[in-house]
Structure 1
Amino acid sequence: MFLEIITPDNKLFEGEVDSATFPGNEGSFQVLDDHAPLVSSLGLGELRYKYKDHDHIKEKELKIDGGIVEVLNNRVLVLVESVQA
């Protein structure tokens, strides 16, 4: 599935991923290929995604301060308010 992570200042990530885990306001949840359509608010916490880099699976974690996620047709758009360093 295709993941795009955007802040008000820039685009943090754009590319194919195997999975993505989000900090929902009522608990974390994971999105995989062929997930049902979804729109959800995000809370403070870790956004994690797994992707392939030269045939190796890598995992990236971002600490976010809330936002919105939309899942539709194997495309995941994440709008985050800010990312903690």
Structure 2
Amino acid sequence: MTLEILTPERKIFSGEVYGVQLPGISGLFEVLDKHAPLVSALKDGKLKILKDKSNTVSYTIQSGFVEVLNNKATVLVEGAVEN
């Protein structure tokens, strides 16, 4: 699936990934390949990009939203810092 992470200032990440773990308002959730369409609010926390089954990259994000549609996840956040 394609993942894009955007802040008001710049694009943080864009590329093909296995999945992504996100800090939803009600708790952590994971979006994998061919996930159903979804829009969710995000709280401050840790976002983990699953590049493949053994390679991950983490970011600490500020609040925002995620949209999943047509095997693409778009994450819009106020800020993000790679860990």
Normalized against structure 1, the TM-score is what? 0.90
Corresponding pairs, count:
82
Instruction: State the match for 1:82 in structure 2.
Output: 79
Question: What amino acid does structure 2 have at the position aligned with 1:18?
Answer: Y
Structure 1 residue runs of 5 or longer lacking an equivalent are: none
What is the percentage of aligned positions where both structures have the same residue?
Answer: 48
Contact 1:65 1:84 in 2 (8 A): no
Instruction: State the match for 2:29 in structure 1.
Output: 29
Note if 1:17 corresponds to 2:17. yes
Question: What amino acid does structure 2 have at the position aligned with 1:39?
Answer: V
Structure with the higher strand share, 1 or 2 = 1
| Distance (Å, rounded) in 1 between the aligned partners of 2:54 and 2:7 | 25
Superposition deviation, residue 81 in structure 1? 0.6
- 2:67 pairs, out of 62, 67, 70, with 70
Contact 1:51 1:58 in 2 (8 A): yes
Give 1 or 2 for the bigger CA radius of gyration.
1
Q: Which runs of 4+ in 1 moved over 3 A?
A: none
RMSD of the TM alignment (CA)?
A: 1.5
Normalized against structure 2, the TM-score is what? 0.92
Contact 1:19 1:51 in 2 (8 A): yes
Superposition deviation, residue 84 in structure 1? 4.2
